[in-house]
Amino acid sequence: MLLGASGAGKSTLLAALAGLLDPSHAGDAEGLLTVDGRDPRDFRDRTGLVLQDPETQLVMARAGDDVAFGLENRATPAAEIWPVVDASLAAVGFPYGRDQRTDQLSGGEQQRLALAGVLALSPRLLLLDEPTANVDPAGAGLVREAIGVVQRRTGATTVLVEHRVAEALPLVDRVIVLRSGGGLLADGEPADVFSRHGDQLAESGVWVPDHPLPVRRRVVRPANSPEQSLLIARHLGFRHRGATKQALADASAELHAGEAVAVVGPNGSGKSTFATILAGLRAPTTGAVRATAPLAGDDTAIPPHRWRATVLADRIGTVFQDPEHQFITGRVRDELAVGPLQRGTPAGVVDRRVGALLERLHLTHLAEANPFTLSGGEKRRLSVAAALASDPAVLVLDEPTFGQDQRTWVELVDLLADHRDAGGAVCAVTHDEAVVTSLADRVLTLQDGGIASTAEAVG
Amino acid sequence: MLDVHTVAVPTGWLARANPVAKLAAALVLGFGAALSDDAVTPAVLVLLILLILAAGGVTAVDILRRGWPLLVSAAGLGATTLLFGDSPTPLLTALTVTFRVVAVALPGVVVLLTVDPTDLADSLVQNAHVPARFAYAALAALRLLPLMGAEWQTIKAARRARGIDAGRNPLRHVELFAGTVFTLLVGAVRRGTRLALAMDARGFDATGPRTLARPQVVRQSDVALVVGAFVLLATAATVSIAFGTFQPVWA
C-alpha cells in the first residue's frame, strides 16, 4: 500500500510504474525506475491499472466488449477471446451478462467490470489508484473482494493507493509512506509502520487505522426549548425526465437551526436528489419545500426553488461534490468575494471577511491563484468557504469529505461544526461513516427514493 | 439523437444487415435524392423507402418518434417558401422543397435508428478498412457524450447555488452560457484524458496487429441492399419521367 498526504506524488509514481509517463516529455526527471528489470514502458502488457473514476475506466458500450477490448489490443485470436471474457466476468462476481450496457451500472459494478478487464490480461503487476473512492460502502466491499480474486488468480504484485487505509489492509502486506517533497517516511509491515509512525503519519494527513478523530456533536439542547425549523420538506417526489422509476418518492423531513443532519443510503437511493431539492436547486415533481420565517423572512410563501439565485445563496449555501463545478472566477480571493459583493456588502468589509476566511482555511498563500490549479483538498476547502462567505443559515453538502486526506477532513468537520454551533443548519449527504460519527446529530437514511428511517445520533 | 445504443432495434432483416452496407445504401439514396429538382421524384422515393422499411420491421411510427425534428424543419422550410418565395407556382415549389429535404435526410435517420454504434465501428474497421485506433477512439468519445448532458444540468445548478442566474438580462444569459461552457469543457478535457489513459493502459496504443472479437461479414444480401438503393433511385426517376415532371438539377 502506497500512502502519503495529498500532493506527495502517489499518483505520479503509479503512472510511472504503469509506463504511462514519458521521461522525454517531463520537465524534470531523475533516478532509475525498473519493473522486472526493464523500463516500465516495456512491461506495459503485463501491467493492469484501475483508477478511481469509474466513468472513465470503461471504453465500450457493452460489458463483454469492454473486457474483450484489452485482449483485442493484444491480438488474442478471436476464438480465444470470449471464453476468457466470460471467465473474467464470473471471477469478479459481475452479476449481468456480456450484453449489459455499461452506462447503466453502478459505480461499484463499473469498477468490478474494469477489474475483469484487467484480470483478462493476466497481469503480473496490478496498480490501483483509490479504486473504491467513488463507491458506496456496500459496493466498495464487493470491489475489494474482486481485487482479492484478481490477486489470487494472477499472483500479481499489487501497488494500491488508498486514502481509507483500514478497510484495504487485508489486501496488502507492506506499507510505504511517501514524504511530501520527496523521499520515504516509512516502509515496512502495516502493524509496525502504524505503531511506530502513527502520530506522525496522522499529523501529515495520512489516514491511520484506529487513530482517534475529533467528535464535534452539538452541545445538548435544553429539553424544554423547542427546535426551530428552517426548512420543511413534505412528501417530496421526483422523477427524471424519461425515467420510469421515481428518483424520490414521498420523502418528508425537517431541518432545524443548530443541528447537523447526515443523509445516508446506498448509491441511487435518491440522497443527492433529495439534497438538491431541499437546497432550492430543483423543483420537486410532487410535494413541496417550505422555508420558515427565520430563514426566509417575508418569503415563506415562495418555495426555495423559485427564489432568485442571489437570495438563495444568502439563505441556503450548497457545496457540490465536484468543486470545479462551482468556481466562477479566476482568482481564489475573488471566489470568496463574489457572494458578499452581490448582496451589496461594502468592499472594505468584504476584504476583511475574505482575509479572515483565507486565514482560517490556510489558503492565504494562494489568494491570487486560479481556483482550477489548486490541489484536491484546497479546492474542497475553497468551495466550502465560498458558500460560507455569503453567511447562509443552511448549508447543504454533497459528499464533502470525499477523497480528502485526514488533515483536510478534520478541518472540514470543524468548519461545519462551527457553522452548526453558531446556530446554522448543516445537511450533508455522505457515505463517510466517520462524518456520521463525528458530526451528525441526526441521521436520515434513504432507501429506494424514500426516507427509510430518521434517528437521533447516539453516543 | 446521439446515443451509443440504438433506440428501435427491429428484428427484421434491416437490423441484421451489415452496418457499412446500410451506410452505403443511405449515402446512395441521400445523394441521389438531391439530384432531382421536382416534387414527384423525392415523393415517390420517400414512399418506396417507407414501404421497404415497413417490410424490414421499422414502422413509420418508429421513424416519427425519433425523426420528427426533421419533419418539422422540412415543413417549416416548405411553409417559408410558400409564404415568402417569389415562385410563379408557390405551392409546387414549397412541396418540392419539403419532399427533397425529407428524401435527402430520411436515409440518414434510418441509419441512426437501425445501426448500433459499436457494430458500425466494428464494420467500418473490418469492411471499410477504417483505422481501428480512429474508429474505437471515436466510439469511446461518443460514450461520454450523454454524461455531458447530465453535467450541464449539474453545473447550472452549482452556479445557481453560488448566487448566479441571469434573470431577464439577455447579456447576462450570454455571459452565463459562456461560463458554463468553459466549466463543461474543462471537465470534458479532464475526462477525455483519463479515458485515453485507461485505454492506453489496456494496450490501445500498441503498434502491433490487433484482433477483432466481433466479426462483421458482408453477405450477398448486403450487396443486394446497395444495388437496391440504385434501383430505388431509378424507379423514382422513371415514375417522375412517366408523369412528365422529372427535372434534374443540372438541367
Residue B2, pLDDT score = 43
pLDDT, chain A, mean: 90
Residue A96, SS3 per DSSP? coil
**What is the DSSP track for B36-75?**
B-SSHHHHHHHHHHHHHHHHTT--HHHHHHHHHHHHHHHH
Task: Report chain A residues whose CB lies below 8 A from the CB of B210.
Answer: 72-73, 75
- In Å, how far are A216, A237, A273, B150, B163 from A283, measured between CA atoms? 33, 10, 10, 16, 17
Maximum pairwise Cα distance, chain B: 68
The answer to whether A242 and A267 have CB atoms below 8 angstroms apart is no
Among residues of chain B, what percentage have pLDDT more than 90? 44
Task: Report chain A residues whose CB lies below 8 A from the CB of B214.
Answer: 65, 68
The answer to whether A287 and A278 have CB atoms below 8 angstroms apart is no
Nearest to A313 among B117, B161, B197 (CB): B161
Query: What is the ipTM for the molecules in this complex?
Result: 0.85
List CB contacts of A445: < 8 A, sequence separation 6 or more.
A264, A265, A451, A452, A453, A454, A455
b/e map A289-317, b = 16+ CB within 10 Å: bbbbeebbeeeeeebbbebebbbbbbbbb
Confidence of residue A143 (pLDDT cuts 50, 70, 90): very high
| Shortest alpha-carbon distance between residue A81 and chain B (Å) | 7
As a whole number of Å, the end-to-end CA separation of chain B is 36
Confidence of residue A458 (pLDDT cuts 50, 70, 90): low
Q: Which residue has the higher pLDDT, B113 or B226?
A: B226
pLDDT, chain B, mean: 87
C-alpha cell at A245: 422509476
Query: Of all helices (H) and strands (E), which one includes residue A289?
Result: strand A286-291
Residue A194, SS3 per DSSP? helix
- Answer yes or no: do B158 and A320 touch at CB < 8 A: yes
Chain A interface, mutation test: which of B162, B186, B195, most A Cβ atoms within 10 Å?
A: B162
- Alpha-carbon distance of B246 to B235, in angstroms, equals 12
Nearest to A276 among B140, B157, B211 (CB): B157
Average pLDDT over residues A367-375: 91
pLDDT at A457 over 80: no
- Alpha-carbon distance of A227 to B144, in angstroms, equals 46
- Answer yes or no: do B198 and A72 touch at CB < 8 A: no
Confidence of residue A222 (pLDDT cuts 50, 70, 90): low
The answer to whether A354 and A389 have CB atoms below 8 angstroms apart is yes
The answer to whether B208 and A75 have CB atoms below 8 angstroms apart is yes
- Alpha-carbon distance of A459 to A440, in angstroms, equals 11
Among residues of chain B, what percentage have pLDDT more than 70? 96
List CB contacts of A283: < 8 A, sequence separation 6 or more.
A277, A303, A305, A306
- Of all residues in chain A, the one with the smallest CA distance to B137 is A59
DSSP state of A279: T
The sign of the CA dihedral A21, A24, A29, A31 is positive
- Alpha-carbon distance of A265 to A227, in angstroms, equals 25
pLDDT at A13 over 80: yes
Average pLDDT over residues A351-375: 90
- CA B231 and chain centroid, separation: 23
- Answer yes or no: do A51 and B194 touch at CB < 8 A: yes
Task: Report chain B residues whose CB lies below 8 A from the CB of A56.
Answer: 144, 191, 194-195, 197-198
DSSP state of A123: -
pLDDT tens figures, A40-64? 888 888 999 999 888 889 999 999 9
Average pLDDT over residues A14-18: 90
| Shortest alpha-carbon distance between residue B205 and chain A (Å) | 8
- Answer yes or no: do B167 and A308 touch at CB < 8 A: yes
Residue B25, pLDDT score = 95
For residue A421, which amino acid is it? D
Average pLDDT over residues A380-395: 93
- In Å, how far are A402, A435, A456, B144 from A213, measured between CA atoms? 16, 10, 20, 39
Phi first, then psi, for residue A219 (nearest 5°) are -65, 135
Confidence of residue B1 (pLDDT cuts 50, 70, 90): very low
- Alpha-carbon distance of A261 to B237, in angstroms, equals 72
Nearest to A59 among B154, B155, B198 (CB): B198
C-alpha cell at B249: 438539377
- Closest by alpha carbon to A445, among A277, A231, A314, A265? A265
Q: Which residue has the higher pLDDT, B174 or A279?
A: A279
C-alpha cell at A254: 425537517
Nearest to A342 among B154, B163, B204 (CB): B163
Which residues make beta-bridge pairs with A319? A397
- Answer yes or no: do A320 and B179 touch at CB < 8 A: no
- Alpha-carbon distance of B113 to B78, in angstroms, equals 25
- Answer yes or no: do A312 and B201 touch at CB < 8 A: no
pLDDT at B114 over 60: yes
- Alpha-carbon distance of B251 to B246, in angstroms, equals 10
Confidence of residue A459 (pLDDT cuts 50, 70, 90): low
pLDDT at B216 over 80: yes
Confidence of residue A8 (pLDDT cuts 50, 70, 90): confident
Task: Report chain A residues whose CB lies below 8 A from the CB of B209.
Answer: 75
| Shortest alpha-carbon distance between residue A267 and chain B (Å) | 17
- Alpha-carbon distance of B210 to B58, in angstroms, equals 35
| Shortest alpha-carbon distance between residue B137 and chain A (Å) | 9
Residue A137, pLDDT score = 83
Confidence of residue B10 (pLDDT cuts 50, 70, 90): low
- In Å, how far are A172, A191, A209, B46 from A166, measured between CA atoms? 11, 11, 5, 66
Confidence of residue B4 (pLDDT cuts 50, 70, 90): very low
Average pLDDT over residues A68-87: 94
Average pLDDT over residues B179-187: 90
Nearest to A61 among B117, B195, B202 (CB): B117
Task: Report chain B residues whose CB lies below 8 A from the CB of A75.
Answer: 208-211
- Alpha-carbon distance of B24 to B128, in angstroms, equals 10
- Alpha-carbon distance of A195 to A188, in angstroms, equals 11
C-alpha cell at B189: 478535457
Maximum pairwise Cα distance, chain A: 76
Among residues of chain A, what percentage have pLDDT more than 90? 56
- Answer yes or no: do B160 and A75 touch at CB < 8 A: no
- Alpha-carbon distance of A100 to A118, in angstroms, equals 18
Query: Of all helices (H) and strands (E), which one includes residue B81?
Result: helix B60-84
Instruction: State pTM to two decimals.
Output: 0.85
Which residues make beta-bridge pairs with A233? A253, A289
- Alpha-carbon distance of A231 to A303, in angstroms, equals 10
- Of all residues in chain A, the one with the smallest CA distance to B148 is A55
